[in-house]
Amino acid sequence: MNRIIKNFAYQSMYQVLSIILPIVTVPIVNKSLGVNGVGLFNYVTSITNYFVLIAGLGLAQYGIREVAIVRKDKTSLSQKFWELQFFNLVISGLTFILYLVFSFFTNYPLFFIINGALILGALFDISWFFAGIEDFKKITIRNSVIKIFSFFAIVFLIRKPSNLTLYFIIQAGSTLVSQVSFWFVLRGKVKFLVPKYKDIFSHFKPAISFFFSKLSSTIINNSTKTILGLIVSSAAVGIFSNGTLLIWVASTLVSSLNTVLLPQMSKIAYSDRTRLSIVLNKSISIQIILTLPIACGIVAVTPKMINWFYGLEFAEIVNIIPILAIGLILQQVQQAIAVGYNIPMHRMKEYNRGWVFACILMIVLSIVLIPNFGVIGAALANTATTAFLAIVRISDMNKDIKFKLDTKPIFASLISSIVMFISIRILTANFAPTIITTVFQIVFGIVIYTICSILLGQQNYVKSIIGKRNF
């Protein structure tokens, strides 16, 4: 098993945890805090995320790329790390001060101040370093331990609407603890060096190129929530946030492949263009194959899980899930190209241009659709923007690298997913909306999809991918 497969396994274990834990906490939080409490939490956090974005200034992906390039030379690695971290210290520190001032001018100063821990987390965050040296084991173990602790805190402490403040503390505090914990295992990885002033700020321009894409991405992810909160209500934000949360949870496992591929792609981008093309096309094909059954499965089981998982207040989620599920598939395509091509090949101009246009489109569509269609309008704006971004990514890549999907296994996955969806809907049409029904639907869906995939020869394709040295 090569390094990519091992790192994907570590990331996948963490993402599985990220999938399982919300299954328990989402119903608890929804019923304890109510639709308004959940909406207020997401509204405040969506605004805080803009400051977190400024504090990070694109360091997450930029840092991974820069560390991956010099990881074999400890002196160069140490120099690069301290340059980036001193740079991060200055930007994050100034952002934190600005955020505290801003907090006192809001309607919810206490919640914003508590969320300030998220910005402090950005100041201490060096997970990009461990990702750059491909030490995903430490990332997985530490993040998993913190996530489990926060999970139990939510389960045992969040019981009523008045616990909203405590919920903010748990969520923001766990993020800060997770980021700080990486410093305890840094010893021996790098030597302490005091970088020169000019070397520290030499990273400003390239980091800005990542910042613009991250800014656009954050606006895309948060603008609909912000506009919903301003135009409709905090309850609408709660409904939309829970719908997108389900989609996000479902996509995290597939997205793990992008995370572990970035260091590899950064190293081979210029040394082996043939391998880059092969790995990229395989990556996109695999992610589509994995995402198709996930998207169809979510749409199939959502109607029966609304009552017990979300609560009756969130019934409208059933109307937006099919729309968001389409966006889920398209999102994996654009992410795979961005991480596998744009960033490693330093095609930041095209990368940022796609994000900026998508950001403008999202804001325009949200302003037009949300006042008329509410939560459904937000979902339509989200999916339409994702479709646009995927098309732009494919168009830009095709100018340099031939885009060639493995259509046969993708078609087989699509057929298997459709059969699974129809089977679940028909067999469970008269089942009661309970947790037992949802568990049965999931197990039954996996069985049906597996059988169809075997009949269509999907297992041979998976074996051939794992067995290839070029992936």
What stretch of H or E contains 316? none
Cβ atoms 230, 14 nearer than 8 A? no
CB atoms near residue 97 (< 10 Å): 11
Does residue 384 carry a pLDDT above 60?
yes
Inter-axis angle of helices 136-157 and 3-56, nearest 10: 60
pLDDT at 235: 77
The residues, ordered by sequence, that sit 6+ positions from 132 with a Cβ below 8 Å of its Cβ are 63, 64, 65, 66, 67, 68, 71, 263
Cβ atoms 179, 85 nearer than 8 A? no
pLDDT at 203: 78
* Alpha carbon separation from 119 to 53, 54, 124 (Å, rounded): 9, 9, 9
d(CA 152, CA 147): 9
Find where tokens 């992610």 sit: 287
Picking from 130-139, 244-253, 386-395, 459-468, which range would have the lowest pLDDT averaged per residue? 459-468
pLDDT at 132: 76
Does residue 101 carry a pLDDT above 70?
yes
| Chain mean pLDDT for the chain | 81
pLDDT at 91: 87
> Among the ranges 59-68, 108-117, 396-405, which has the highest mean pLDDT value?
108-117
d(CA 428, CA 449): 16
d(CA 365, CA 368): 5
> Among the ranges 184-188, 195-199, 434-438, which has the highest mean pLDDT value?
434-438
Cβ atoms 291, 257 nearer than 8 A? no
CB atoms near residue 467 (< 10 Å): 8
> Among the ranges 234-243, 336-345, 442-451, which has the highest mean pLDDT value?
442-451
* DSSP designation for 160: S
Which of 388, 390, 281 lies closest to 330 in space, CA to CA? 390
For 268, the token pair is 């081979």
Band of pLDDT at residue 4, cut at 50, 70 and 90: low
Picking from 45-49, 218-222, 258-262, 328-332, which range would have the lowest pLDDT averaged per residue? 258-262
What stretch of H or E contains 156? helix 136-157
pLDDT at 335: 81
pLDDT at 467: 52
d(CA 246, CA 258): 20
Q: What is the pTM assigned to this prediction?
A: 0.68
Write out pLDDT tens, residues 285-330. 878 888 899 899 999 998 888 888 777 777 888 889 999 999 888 8
DSSP sequence for 70-116: HTT-HHHHHHHHHHHHHHHHHHHHHHHHHHHHHHTTSS-HHHHHHTH
Say which residue, 208 or 445, is predicted with more confidence.
445
Find where tokens 């030490």 sit: 135
Band of pLDDT at residue 270, cut at 50, 70 and 90: low
What stretch of H or E contains 32? helix 3-56
Cβ atoms 101, 152 nearer than 8 A? no
DSSP sequence for 411-448: HHHHHHHHHHHHHHHHHTTTS-SSHHHHHHHHHHHHHH
Average pLDDT over residues 169-185: 87
Alpha carbons within 13 A on the beta-carbon side of 251: 23
| CA 112 to centroid of chain Cα atoms | 23
pLDDT at 1: 44
Alpha carbons within 13 A on the beta-carbon side of 223: 23
Band of pLDDT at residue 422, cut at 50, 70 and 90: very high
Say which residue, 369 or 234, is predicted with more confidence.
369
Region of 158 (left: φ > 0; alpha: ψ -120 to 50; beta: rest) is beta
Which of 224, 235, 265, 170 lies closest to 379 in space, CA to CA? 224
d(CA 43, CA 106): 12
Cβ atoms 84, 92 nearer than 8 A? no
Does residue 187 carry a pLDDT above 60?
yes
d(CA 14, CA 243): 21
Write out pLDDT tens, residues 52-98. 888 877 676 777 777 877 777 788 888 888 888 888 888 888 999 99
Which of 13, 18, 19 lies closest to 294 in space, CA to CA? 19
CB atoms near residue 462 (< 10 Å): 13
pLDDT at 18: 65
Which of helix, strand or coil describes residue 190? strand
Say which residue, 423 or 225, is predicted with more confidence.
423
Which of helix, strand or coil describes residue 187? strand
d(CA 83, CA 193): 9
Say which residue, 32 or 141, is predicted with more confidence.
32
Band of pLDDT at residue 260, cut at 50, 70 and 90: low
Which of helix, strand or coil describes residue 134? coil
Does residue 209 carry a pLDDT above 80?
no
